[in-house]
Every structure is written in structure tokens, then in C-alpha cells.
Chains A and B, each alone.
Chain A
Amino acid sequence: MAEEKGLARARAVYRNRRHRAEELKAAGKKVIGYLCAYPPLEMMTALDIVPFRLLGDINEPISKADSCLPSVVCPFIRSTLDLGLKQRYEFLDGVVMAHSCDVAEKTAHIWNIYLKPDYFHFIDTPHTAGPSAVAQHRGLLAAFGKTLEELAGKKITTRSLKEAIKLHNRQRALVRQLYSFRKPDPPLISGVETLQVMVALMSLPVTEGNELLEEVINEVSRRQDSPPQKKARLLVWGSILDNTSLIEMMEGLDASLVMDDTCVGSRFFWPDVELTEDPLDGLARRYLVDVKCPRTFRQTNDGGKTKDYRADLEARFGYLKEYARDWNVQGVVLQSLRYCDIHGYEVPQVKDYLKGLGLPSIYIEHDYQQTAMAPLKTRIQAFLEILDRG
């Protein structure tokens, strides 16, 4: 496995995520699991702790999670908790979770109660992004840093944190570069391959991730076997996609997935951390304000005195217009996991916005189940038929 490079390596890591983490652990490193996009990785990297993203497994039927979490919640979270309960994450030294959404918060407590990790920290990420919330968030990150330092047995210094930020910013820049290979038609890298790389990055220490990215970029920029041209270029928006099944289905039809706005993708990697004098300031702002997940409420005008729906939509979703333009997108697939409130409320509003842009969209809801894809396939195919003739 070690000899594999570039895309092949990414695929191998994607298929066996914990392999490298376990090796590192055996070599004496600390590995910490994190849920969702909110715990700042830089702080872990600064202490030489390896952050490892907690994900679910779409092919594993959920059985244990039902004994502590009801079935009417986000199936991704249920799956992740289920894996935890089945001891698939027992190689971790601990976990850090955040108040990214309601279920994630509740699941954090449940994880702590039933899995009793040696290290556990909960970051109560605020829901708003005004000045008091950013200040609060900064304090929360400082508190997180303290517990991490205890675990690591050393201190986070301004220097080490800045170094870590640079490493992660470098990763982000490389990801953006990789994404730019999706702009040509046909794209140089498929949606499935991209997602495999993203998952791999979330399973490796940042330096190894950066190496991998460099290999991939090198490989892709010169590849002879790039994906074929397809009839439609799609953007996918919405809930977490931590496995390739949905994208595979879409790309198996006559479509290229050229851009995403999901959190194992651009949403996670896009914004850089500003190198502020006190690095915590930059981190606090980046993770609360700059990550564009609908879980954060943003005032979009003069302190909320007035309100204008169009302006509100523009402020919230304007980046989608840029994505669509730069990646030459013809249609948008809005997808949400069933029971995801965060994305569910957003759907009609994103639809309104895209309609205003004249960009066709389709909404699909899924259960995080491989076999439930068949009816979705018909939907996507019909959507493509509409695009084709449009």
C-alpha cells in the first residue's frame, strides 16, 4: 500500500481509512477523532496530534446505535455512532465534538456516556456570527487548547500554532488547485476521485495529506485517462457525503460532477485561516464565520433592522453563483439526508436563489443506504433529460 501514489493511494486510504492512523498510533502518535467541520484541526496539528475525521459507513447496517439514539435522526450521525459502539474507533485516543448541529451535540453526550473515551472535549460552537459570538468562540477554542495540552503533555505555542495554520492553509490551497482541474470540459478529475481524495485527507496527518495532494495534482495535470466528456455538468449541494455511492450513481449517468458544496469537500477546505497576531483570533473567525454551513445564522444587513429576501439570499448563497460560473455548472443537485433539519429548512431557499439565477435544480432526500439509490437514479436521470433538452 505504501508504494501506491497519487489517486491510487487516495483510493486505498479511502477504502481502508484507519490503516494509516493505526500505524501512526503504533508508532506512538496520538490520534483524535473529530466530528463535523468545526473542531479546529490546526490546534491538534500544533501539538503533533493527528486529527482523524469520524465518518459513517454506508454499507454497515445500523444496529447498535438504536439502543441509545432514536431512529428519527440524521442517519449519518447514527451510522457514525454505531461504528463507535461497534468499536471501530477504539484505536483513537479520544474525540472532540462540536455543536455543529443539534444531533451532533446530543450525540456528543451520548458518545461520552456510552463509549467513555479517555479524552473527550465538546466545543459549544455558537449559532450566530456576530461580534459577541466570535469572542465567545475564541474563548471556547482557548479552553479546547487547554485540554489538548493536557493530553499532549506540552503547550501550544504561538509559533507552533502558526506553523500548523500554514500547513493547513497549504492543504486548502492545494485542494483549491485540485478543484480547478474540474473546470475544463471534460474535467481532469471525476467527482468520485475527488471525494476519495477528500476522505483520504481527513484520514491522514496534514503533512502526509499535502504530499498526497501534490502527487495527485501532478498525476492529474498530466493524465491521459481523464474522465470522458458527459452531457451535463453538475454541482451537488447539501448534507454530508462521506462515501462515493451517490456521486458514482450520478457519474454513471451522463453527468460529470464538477463542483460541490458539501462538508467533505469544498465547504470544509475552501476558506483559509487568516494568520492573525494571536492565531486564535484567526481560527475563531475562520471556523465560525468563514465556513459556509447553513448551521450558522448570519445577519445579512445593518444589524438586522430591515430585511430583504433577495439580498439575504445573495449574501447567503452568493458563492454558489461563483461556483456555477467558474465551473460552468448546468444543474444543481440539492441533497439532504433524511432528518437533517439544517439542510431541510434551507432547501426551498436555495431553490429560490438558483431559480433567480436561471439554474435548474433538483432536490433529493436519502437515507444513507446503498440500496435506496435506485429510485434516486430515476430522478437524477430524468433531471438530466430535462437539462439535455432545456
Chain B
Amino acid sequence: MTEKKRPINRLKSMYPLRGLIDGMYRQGLSAAAEGKPVAWCMVNWWQGDPILKAMDVATIYPEDYGAVCAAFGAAQGYLERSAADGFPSHMCGYARNCLGYTGRMMDAGGIPEEAPMGGMPRPTLLLGSGSLCDARYKWFQSLGRYFDAPLWVLELPHPGVKEGLTPGAHETNISFIVAQLGEFVTFLENLLGKKMNRDRLDEITTDTVEMNNWWHKVNELRRARPGPMHSRDFWSSMPASLYMAADPGQTAGLYRRMYDEIKERVDNKVSAINTTEKYRLAFLELPPWHSLGFFDKLAERGWNFVIESWAYHPPRPIDLNGVTDPLERLARYSYHWLTGYYRQAYDAGEWWGYFAYPYLEYVRDYQCDGVVLHPLLSCRTATNHLTLVADRLMKKLKVPSLVIEGDIVDLKLFDPAGALTKAETFEETMDHYKKVRKEAGFSW
């Protein structure tokens, strides 16, 4: 007979995208071996990374490394080390992992033996970020305890919805970001002793936007019924965009291939799960990396995860024609990523324009029957808005949410058996609200 089908129908085009991340670690290591500059970066939503690329600086993302260490079982030792160094254990698990790793690296005088993926080499500089969470600059500042690498922190304004829409505010904020990026370029030029190649930056910026536009189109296709791409494929593919693991032009090509593959699925009504799609779901925010098999179990029950975290999605395309300065293009693009939903949020009277509002659109546009919320003990940022979002979704769209507690590195906190029992109960809830929505005249 035929081989047994996997519960989730993975996309072939996902694999090369996922592979880019392994390449990122290799590149970092070889750059360090050749004495080339290496930066440890916080995800900065395409603000600073293109500039680093244009300056030939290899980029590595300790946030991702946190997930890697958790997956390889190395995190525990690093967390213990950071606790021993006095970092309170309620703080970001990725940060504590990185602080512990760094402590070990400095003790060992090089990459510690047990480090997964070959480890992260000691950086030439650190690029922190002022967006979305405090850890993203406080954590890097704390690394000063272990080595003396200069730290630069990039700002991304987070206005309130009303404040962001007052006349003039948009342009003021763009100028601020442009000024910030300019200061960053100067810093890099001083540090590296060379000028940045503007043409190169121009090219990279164009490719970055192009890459994300394809990635956006991929995700647009996921509105189809049955959902052609499962969140697991999203999570495997998103780092290529978020971390700028490779040359963005190359990545754009890979997303384009993914687009083609999904398009074919959509045309042929091929689903991302090998069971009838009974429920369409959204997942907020970071998944339990260590228990992804959980999604197979849910897929067997007919749960298809069709959309997920706003913050890991690329922005909706904007027109950057006529903006000649690449720094300004980057500024506009990143700011748009954060504030792109503000106008609609304002009209809807929703005052949390990023994080909270986009989900209202996602859940409606992707016709979700339910939302799975995954509050993390050690990440406030991925947790702060969840209760609010659940409340808004229920009030405005009559879509229920299921809460499953966990953490990104503290694996003990996720209880797969308990989660499955909850899931069973939640089906009853989703069925109920399907009826409620029908009665209220919703389209799904």
C-alpha cells in the first residue's frame, strides 16, 4: 500500500528557506575565522540589517540562538549560568540563554564545546533595538559584563494610534528614523574604518522589499479554503525574512518558488493537513518550539493553522517609488511595518494599533474559527496583548480563544497532554461560535 501520510502536508519549497538559517550560523563562524566583522543583532525589522549587509558585516541573531539551544537541549545549562550570574529568572528566556552562553564562552576562551550549530562567535559589535520590548536593548547592554563590544541601539517610534495619525507625526517620525540610521552608518564607518557603499545599500534595500513582497503574497494565498500552508511551514520559513539570513535577492527567489507551490495547491484545493479541514485557526505568538509535534496531533483532528503572529509577518506592500535615499526607504518600510494598520485601527476605534488590531483583520480575512494563545512565562512582549486580543476577537467577531501556557525555553511549562484535553473541549466552543456567527450574519 501507499506510505502513511503525515498529518501536516509540508511544503517542499519550505526546506531551502529553512536551510538558510543553518547557513547563517556557518557564515558567522567563517567570517569570524577570517577576522571579518560579525554583529550580534536583535531582530530589527529591516532597519539596520541591510546596512550591516552593505558594510559586509556578518549578522547573527541570539534570539534565534535561544530557540536553537532550547531545541538542542543546551539551554538549561546556559539558563543556570545566567541565574548564577545574578540575572533574575523571570526575564526573557532567550536573553538569559544568551547571557549564560556568553558567560561560558568567555570562560572557555572561545566557543564552548557543547554549543549547538557550531556556536555564535564573539561579535565585533552589537546591534540592539528599541522596538517591541525592553529586553532588546537591556539584554545587549548587560553583555558588557562579559566582553567589550560596542553596542548601538536603533529606535523605532511606537506612537499611539491617535498620536501617530496627527498631522505631521508620520513625517516627523520618519525623519527621526532616518537620522537614527544616519548616526548608525557614521558609527559603523568609524568602527570599521571604511565608507558604506550607498549603491550596494540601494540594491539590498530594493531586494529586501522585493523579498518581503513575495513573502507577503505567499501569506495572502493562505486565505484560501482549505488552507494551503500550515503555520509550521510559516515558522520554518519566516527566519529567512526576519533575520536576513542570506542575500535578500536570493531569498526573494525562494519565496517566489513557495508562492508558485502554494498557488498550485490553491488551484487544486490541496490542504495543508491531510484530514478534512474542520477548524481554521490562528496562533499567537511564538510556538512551543520543542513540542511542535503537538500540531500534528491537532492536524489529525482537523485543525488547520492558517495564520499566525502579526509581528513575524512582513508589512503590506507600500509604494516607495520616488524615495531615492535608501536610508529613507528603510525608515519608511520599517515604520510602515509597525504602524501600517493604524488608519484602520483608528476607524475601528481600536487604540492598540500594532499587535492587537491586526489580529482582528487576520482572523476575519482568514476566516478563523478559533485562536490559540500561547502566553510565555518569560516574554512579556508576546504575552501582554493576548488577553486583550482574545477579548476583542470575541466582542467584535465572535471568535473564541484557547489559552495554552508555555515558554520558549523553559520546556517544563508546556503540558502537551493537558493541552490536547483542552483542545478537545475547545472544539465544542468553536462549534458553538460557528452557530453564533452564522446567526449574527458573519460570513464564516
A residues with CB within 8 A of B: 66-70, 72-73, 99, 101-103, 105-106, 108-110, 112-113, 120-122, 124, 126-128, 130-133, 135-136, 139, 143, 146, 294-295, 297, 301, 303-309, 312, 336, 338-339, 341-342, 344-349, 351-352, 363, 365
Residues of B within 8 A of A347 (CB): 86-88
Cβ A349 vs Cβ B145 within 8 A: yes
Residues of B within 8 A of A101 (CB): 134
**A101 to B153 Cα, complex, angstroms:** 15
Name the distance in Å between A78's Cβ and chain B's nearest Cβ: 11
B124-179 residues with Cβ-Cβ distance < 8 A to A are 128, 130, 132-135, 137-139, 141-142, 144-145, 148-153, 155, 157-160, 162-163, 166, 169, 172-173, 176, 179
Cβ B380 vs Cβ A341 within 8 A: yes
**A72 to B128 Cα, complex, angstroms:** 24
Cβ B134 vs Cβ A69 within 8 A: no
Cβ A348 vs Cβ B145 within 8 A: yes
Contact of A297 among B92, B133, B141, B157 (CB under 8 A): B141
Cβ A341 vs Cβ B86 within 8 A: no
**A69 to B88 Cα, complex, angstroms:** 22
Residues of B within 8 A of A146 (CB): 166
Residues of A within 8 A of B150 (CB): 301, 304-307
Cβ B160 vs Cβ A102 within 8 A: no
Name the distance in Å between A273's Cβ and chain B's nearest Cβ: 23
Residue of A at shortest CB range from B128? A297
Say yes or no: A346-B176 contact (C-beta < 8 A), given A103-B384, A109-B356, A136-B157.
no
Residues of B within 8 A of A344 (CB): 87-88, 90-91
**A301 to B130 Cα, complex, angstroms:** 20
**A345 to B98 Cα, complex, angstroms:** 13
Name the distance in Å between A113's Cβ and chain B's nearest Cβ: 5
Residues of A within 8 A of B350 (CB): 113
Cβ A309 vs Cβ B138 within 8 A: no
B80 at the interface (CB under 8 A from A): no
Known: A110-B388, A307-B144, A341-B135. 18 other contacts (CB 8 A): A66-B387, A70-B386, A102-B134, A102-B380, A106-B384, A120-B162, A124-B160, A126-B155, A126-B157, A126-B176, A135-B176, A143-B163, A295-B134, A297-B141, A336-B88, A342-B134, A347-B86, A348-B85
Query: Could you name 29 residue pairs across A and B whose Cβ atoms are closer than 8 Å?
Result: A68-B387, A68-B391, A70-B384, A70-B386, A72-B375, A102-B134, A102-B384, A103-B380, A106-B384, A112-B351, A113-B350, A113-B351, A122-B159, A122-B162, A126-B130, A127-B130, A133-B155, A136-B157, A297-B141, A307-B148, A336-B88, A344-B91, A345-B87, A345-B134, A345-B141, A347-B88, A348-B145, A349-B145, A351-B86
Most chain-B CB neighbours within 10 Å: which of A70, A105, A139, A339? Answer: A70
Say yes or no: A309-B169 contact (C-beta < 8 A), given A127-B137, A130-B183, A345-B141.
no
How many residues on chain B are close to A (CB under 8 Å)? 62
Cβ A102 vs Cβ B155 within 8 A: no
B442 at the interface (CB under 8 A from A): no
Cβ A69 vs Cβ B155 within 8 A: no
Most chain-A CB neighbours within 10 Å: which of B95, B176, B381? Answer: B176
Cβ B138 vs Cβ A128 within 8 A: no
B180 at the interface (CB under 8 A from A): yes
Residues of A within 8 A of B133 (CB): 102, 341
B15 at the interface (CB under 8 A from A): no
Residues of B within 8 A of A338 (CB): 88, 90
Residues of A within 8 A of B183 (CB): 130-132
Residues of B within 8 A of A70 (CB): 375, 383-384, 386-387
**A108 to B164 Cα, complex, angstroms:** 14
**A110 to B386 Cα, complex, angstroms:** 11
Cβ A132 vs Cβ B88 within 8 A: no
**A143 to B182 Cα, complex, angstroms:** 24
3 tightest Cβ-Cβ pairs between the two chains A and B: A122-B160, A132-B179, A345-B138
Residues of A within 8 A of B151 (CB): 304, 307
B191 at the interface (CB under 8 A from A): yes
B352 at the interface (CB under 8 A from A): yes
B242 at the interface (CB under 8 A from A): no
Cβ B158 vs Cβ A363 within 8 A: no
Name the distance in Å between A311's Cβ and chain B's nearest Cβ: 9
Q: Mark B77-113, 1 if CB is under 8 A from A, else 0.
A: 0000000011110111001000000000000000000
Contact of B186 among A66, A121, A303 (CB under 8 A): A303
Cβ B158 vs Cβ A139 within 8 A: no
Contact of A109 among B142, B166, B182, B352 (CB under 8 A): B352
B187 at the interface (CB under 8 A from A): yes
Say yes or no: A341-B138 contact (C-beta < 8 A), given A103-B380, A128-B130, A139-B172.
yes
**A109 to B148 Cα, complex, angstroms:** 38
B190 at the interface (CB under 8 A from A): yes
Residue of A at shortest CB range from B158? A124
**A169 to B356 Cα, complex, angstroms:** 40
Q: Mark B276-309, 1 if CB is under 8 A from A, else 0.
A: 0000000000000000000000000000000000
Residues of B within 8 A of A297 (CB): 128, 130, 137-138, 141, 153
Residue of A at shortest CB range from B130? A127
Residue of B at shortest CB range from A351? B86
Cβ A309 vs Cβ B352 within 8 A: no
Residues of B within 8 A of A131 (CB): 183
Residue of B at shortest CB range from A110? B388
Cβ B163 vs Cβ A136 within 8 A: no
Residues of B within 8 A of A122 (CB): 159-160, 162-163
Residues of B within 8 A of A365 (CB): 88, 90
Residues of B within 8 A of A121 (CB): 160, 163
**A68 to B383 Cα, complex, angstroms:** 11
**A114 to B40 Cα, complex, angstroms:** 39
Residues of A within 8 A of B364 (CB): none
Name the distance in Å between B324's Cβ and chain A's nearest Cβ: 21
B31 at the interface (CB under 8 A from A): no
Residues of B within 8 A of A304 (CB): 150-152, 187, 191
Residue of B at shortest CB range from A313? B144
Name the distance in Å between B155's Cβ and chain A's nearest Cβ: 6
B216 at the interface (CB under 8 A from A): no
Contact of B142 among A124, A305, A307, A349 (CB under 8 A): A349
**A341 to B380 Cα, complex, angstroms:** 9
B385 at the interface (CB under 8 A from A): yes
Name the distance in Å between B384's Cβ and chain A's nearest Cβ: 4
B375-400 residues with Cβ-Cβ distance < 8 A to A are 375, 377, 380-381, 383-388, 391
Residues of B within 8 A of A128 (CB): 130, 153, 155, 180
**A308 to B145 Cα, complex, angstroms:** 10
Cβ B142 vs Cβ A345 within 8 A: yes
Contact of A349 among B134, B144, B190 (CB under 8 A): B144
**A106 to B384 Cα, complex, angstroms:** 7
